[in-house]
Amino acid sequence: MSATTQAVATPLLSVTPASIDQVDWADKHYLVVDDFVGVRQLLRESLRSLGAKNIDQASSGGEAMALLARIRYDVVLCDYNLGDGKNGQQVLEEARVRNLVNPSTVWLMVSAEKSVESVMGAAEHQPDAYLIKPITEGVLLTRLNRVWHKKQVFRMIDQACAEKDYLRAARLCDDQIAVDKVHELELLRMKARLMEKSGQPTRAREVYERVLEQREYQWARAGLAKIRLANGEFEQARQAFQGVIAENRYYIEAYDQLALSYQNMGKFEEAGAILERAAKLSPNSVMRQRSLGNLALKLGNMPMAEKAFRKCIAIGEYSIMKTPDAYLGLARVYGQKNDPKEALRLLLVAQREFAHDHPDIQLRTKITEGLVYHESGDYRRARKAGDDLEAMLKATLERPDVPTCLELATLLFAVGVKEAAIELLRYVIRNNHDNPLLLDEVQQIFDKARMPEEGMAMIRASKKEAADLMNQGVLLWKTGKLGEAVAWMRDARKAVPNNQRILFNAAQIMVSCLQQQGYDAVLAAEAYEILHHVDHLLPGQQRFAQLMEQLAQLQPAADGGGTGAGAGVPAVA
Amino acid sequence: MDDTPNAHELFLFLASTAHDMKNSISVLSGTLERLLVDASPKTESAYPQMAHMLYQTKRLNDNLMQLLALYKQVGKPEYPFDVQPLELGQLVDQVVSIERVLLQSRGIQLELDCDRQLIWHFDEDLVVGVLSHAINNAIHYTCDRVRLAIREDGGWLELRVEDNGPGYPPALLRAGEIATRETAGGVNFLTNSAGLGLYFSSEVAKMHRHRGQHGTLRLENGGKYGGGCFILRLP
């Protein structure tokens, strides 16, 4: 090991990181956000001494958003604490969600002291680095260079991720890990996540274990625990998450996962208590407050539900993450408190606030309205809501997500609108015929409605229908009738648009068609569309990752050409 | 800590006040640094006084930072402790940049001795804070030279801040011993202002754990120049 001795007599701006290729920071466009004018001036002076000429300033989150909407910045220096209105994290989230910053934009979050959020990855959108005041020029330059360098290392990997070609991204990680000691751990962390996203928990586990051989990193421990949770080993997962929290009380994500472990074991009280603790430590997460509210509602703990939903609405006010769920949940709370008037008022607010971004808001508020009336004993109005819902379902082929469907069917049975309920459950089964847990849930809904036999018969028939639909397509494919197989699957997809098994097989048959009959951009686009749709329904599936990789390799422009082999056989039900 | 609403309110109030004070100190030290960079002892008659003001401002900032961190109970699980791998070059660059103007204004030379490529795992913000605090201290005690030497030693990272002054006075060495003792109970040993910095630094050392071992802090006289030595060892 060579020790370099270097005497810095009067160390002027000699903070030159020797090994890093120099970045020209003078040319960049900067945005400085701080509510304190003195700090803004200071940061501007520091940037000027790096040669910067283009420096814009904002004194609030709102001002920052207005500038971000107009101008693409290379570097954003944003204080976390911005007084009233949006905080720095909310500015970052909105900028990312609304695509107002480039992937190459360097985002540095500034704060007076170390915050929980800065450490535990509590938020989904992380800045590139956190800086603690006071900020000196040298520290600023060091961190800017470091982030820039890291972005170079991750550029191709991020690109592959954006294209959802997770397996290519993982290979790029491997290549880089071999040569890059500095970023080794971050690359390993990324690789583990990619393995999770491509449905390969065993390989993710290997990566986490490799990290833990080096050092006791809690994110790797939490990663192992998450794999156990996904495997259904709830008790082991619980112990592991508790171990993480014992080591680091501020590892917020572990609380969320621990609560999930408890929920899976049916221990809702414990889950609620954990989420409550997490919400105390890191109260400004819309998502966590929503989970807490929903869980409290389930537990019948109305004061806790009300508090969580109110907090959720309050933080949502300035956040792009705001959700109608908080309004719907709070309306339920008022229903339970026998105040349907206030509940309806909240539903109206939700309709107004979310009309734009949530096309299903009408349906969802109507469901909640029905529940509120039903729970407060107003059966006449509850039935009326049921009739309205039936009409809404008839008017469109669109169906909400599965949990909403089940909630809706339960309500429809309860208020006596049976036909629509059965029809809706038929849709659920046909689109999820190979999900035994869900079939059980549907059966339970029928049992509760005192229609166990009808339910069983319906489930059996719908299941068979979907399976036949799929098997016929696979049969055509196996007997070499590729064109017919593609056409058949296309029709099957129309009949059951959200059946993951059928969607995967449709994509698989299209891929094999492309492999055997040559590349066809239109067919490839159709396969991509199908795959993105499945990924939307349930992210993190192995077949998704594999098919995405095969499709990308078929692309003629891509170097290296296709693989030829490796086209899997569509699975039969 | 108390969980009553009042305690929470008080905490928020303290946090926002601290935030404000941090801003003021940032502006104060930033402005002083800028003035000092633009001036020289020849052109500016108040140059030595300005240099002293900067030294005092840095002390103020260090103390505030340490108080805040201790209020959050560094060393207890309550502090958001954040270990990451880092190249030593990155660590040294930041410490140098924080101390640059102060060193220059006092006419003190900083000598660096470390392998810039070596990677170690630690909480960057805390260790930068400890080292720059140690250098501020050394500036007070040295004659005209401070040495920052970092090396790997049998599975440990040893970070030394040495100077060529007369060495630490016995009282401070004693305070160092007490502050860094395994079982330092409470804060009642704080008989002088150096105690806070030492206590903070030794807490930071102890937080760094690896395979059943934790970091240590030691003060002694000697080193390359026979002056004071501040020695942080991390596993």
- Indicate whether A389 belongs to any domain: no
For residue A201, give how far its alpha carbon lies from the nearest alpha carbon of chain B (Å).
25
For tokens 């107002």, what's the residue?
Answer: A100
Q: Roughly how many angstroms between the first and final C-alpha of chain A, as a whole number?
A: 60
Question: Which residues of chain B have a CB within 8 Å of the CB of A185?
Answer: 84-85
3-class DSSP assignment, residue A123:
coil
Question: Phi, psi at residue A360, to the nearest 5°?
Answer: -90, 15
- Cβ-defined contact of B115 to A4 (cutoff 8 Å): yes
The pLDDT tens digits for A463-486 are 999 999 999 999 999 998 999 999
Give CA–CA dist A236/A258, Å, rounded. 11
Give CA–CA dist B65/A2, Å, rounded. 35
- Indicate whether A60 belongs to any domain: yes
Q: Does position A557 have pLDDT exceeding 80, yes or no?
A: no
Give CA–CA dist A260/A291, Å, rounded. 10
- Cβ-defined contact of B115 to A3 (cutoff 8 Å): yes
Give CA–CA dist A403/A298, Å, rounded. 14
pLDDT score for B192: 53
Give CA–CA dist A464/A471, Å, rounded. 10
Q: Does position A427 have pLDDT exceeding 80, yes or no?
A: yes
Could you give the C-alpha distances from B112 to A9, A488, B155, in angstroms and in order?
10, 73, 21
Q: What is the DSSP letter of A107?
A: E
pTM of this prediction exceeds 0.95: no
- Cβ-defined contact of B96 to A249 (cutoff 8 Å): no
Q: Exposure of A315 by Cβ count < 10 A (0-12 exposed, 13-18 middle, 19+ buried)?
A: buried
Question: Which residues of chain A have a CB within 8 Å of the CB of B125?
Answer: 114, 132
Residues A254, A225: contact at Cβ < 8 Å?
yes
Give CA–CA dist B184/B176, Å, rounded. 11
For residue B174, give how far its alpha carbon lies from the nearest alpha carbon of chain A (Å).
31
Give CA–CA dist B7/A412, Å, rounded. 48
What residue numbers bound the domain in which A542 lies? 471-554
Q: Provide the residue ranges of all domains of chain B, joining segments of one domain with +.
A: 5-71, 84-234
Domain closes at, from A161, A190, A207? A161
pLDDT score for B75: 47
What mean pLDDT comes out for the span B141-170? Answer: 93
- The partner residue sitting opposite A11, judged by closest CB among B79, B90, B103, is B103
Which pairing describes strands B209-210 and B213-214: parallel, antiparallel, or unpaired? antiparallel
The pLDDT tens digits for B42-95 are 888 888 888 888 888 888 888 777 777 666 655 444 567 788 999 999 999 999
CA nearest neighbour of B56 among B35, B28, B17: B28
Q: What is the CATH number of the domain that holds A124?
A: 3.40.50.2300
Q: Is A184 on the interface with B (CB under 8 A)?
A: yes
Count of residues for chain A?
A: 573
For the domain B84-234, what is the CATH code? 3.30.565.10
- Indicate whether A54 belongs to any domain: yes
Q: Which of the four pLDDT bands, split at 50, 70 and 90, describes residue A170?
A: very high
Number of domains in chain A: 2
The pLDDT tens digits for A288-297 are 999 999 999 9
pLDDT score for A467: 93
- CB interface of A with B, residues 245-274, below 8 Å: 247-250
Among A19-23, A234-238, B174-178, name the most confident range.
A234-238
Give CA–CA dist B81/B213, Å, rounded. 17
The pLDDT tens digits for B103-148 are 988 899 999 999 999 999 999 988 998 999 899 889 988 999 999 9
Q: What is the largest CA-CA distance in chain A?
A: 89
Give CA–CA dist A531/A547, Å, rounded. 8
- CB interface of A with B, residues 141-160, below 8 Å: 141-142, 146
Could you give the C-alpha distances from A487 to A490, A504, A555, in angstroms and in order?
5, 15, 22
pLDDT score for B59: 82
The pLDDT tens digits for B215-235 are 999 999 998 999 999 999 999
Q: Is A460 on the interface with B (CB under 8 A)?
A: no
Which of A404-418, A537-551, B52-66 is predicted least confidently? Answer: B52-66
Q: Which of the four pLDDT bands, split at 50, 70 and 90, describes residue A63?
A: very high
The letter for the amino acid at A43 is L
Give CA–CA dist A103/A133, Å, rounded. 26
- Cβ-defined contact of B61 to A38 (cutoff 8 Å): no
Q: Which of the four pLDDT bands, split at 50, 70 and 90, describes residue A317?
A: confident
Q: Is A215 on the interface with B (CB under 8 A)?
A: yes
- Indicate whether A435 belongs to any domain: no
pLDDT score for A256: 92
pLDDT score for B186: 41
Domain closes at, from A99, A128, A161? A161
Residues A130, A111: contact at Cβ < 8 Å?
yes
Give CA–CA dist A548/A504, Å, rounded. 11
Which of B62, B93, B130 would you mutate first to test chain A, the one with the most A CBs within 10 A? B93
CA nearest neighbour of B141 among B197, B66, B76: B197
Question: Which residues of chain B have a CB within 8 Å of the CB of A38?
Answer: 23-24, 26-27
Residues A425, A442: contact at Cβ < 8 Å?
yes
Q: Say how many CB pairs under 8 Å bridge A and B.
A: 148
Domain closes at, from A161, A189, A214? A161
Residues A182, B87: contact at Cβ < 8 Å?
yes
pLDDT score for A304: 95
Residues A468, A502: contact at Cβ < 8 Å?
no
Residues A515, A551: contact at Cβ < 8 Å?
no
For residue B110, give how far its alpha carbon lies from the nearest alpha carbon of chain A (Å).
6
pLDDT score for A7: 44
The pLDDT tens digits for B13-30 are 666 677 778 778 888 888
**H/E/C letters for each residue in chain B?**
CCCCHHHHHHHHHHHHHHHHHHHHHHHHHHHHHHHHHHCCCCCCCCHHHHHHHHHHHHHHHHHHHHHHHHHCCCCCCCCCCCCEEEEHHHHHHHHHHHHHHHHHHCCCEEEEEECCCCEEEECHHHHHHHHHHHHHHHHHHCCCEEEEEEEEECCEEEEEEEECCCCCCHHHHHHHHHHHCCCCCCCCCCCCCHHHHHHHHHHHHHHCEECCEECEEEEEEECCCCEEEEEEEEC
Question: Which residues of chain A have a CB within 8 Å of the CB of B5?
Answer: none
pLDDT score for A118: 58
Q: What is the DSSP letter of A434?
A: T
By percentage, how much of chain A surpasses pLDDT 90? 66
pLDDT score for A3: 42
pLDDT score for A117: 62
The pLDDT tens digits for A445-469 are 999 999 999 999 999 999 999 999 9
Interacting residues of A353 by C-beta distance below 8 A, sequence separation 6+: A322, A324, A327
- Indicate whether A83 belongs to any domain: yes
Q: Which of the four pLDDT bands, split at 50, 70 and 90, describes residue A531?
A: very high
pLDDT score for A135: 82
Question: Phi, psi at residue B144, to the nearest 5°?
Answer: -150, 15
pLDDT score for B188: 43
Question: Phi, psi at residue A290, to the nearest 5°?
Answer: -65, -45
- Cβ-defined contact of A38 to B26 (cutoff 8 Å): yes
The helix (run of H) or strand (run of E) holding residue A129 is strand A129-132
Structure tokens at A15: 């903070």
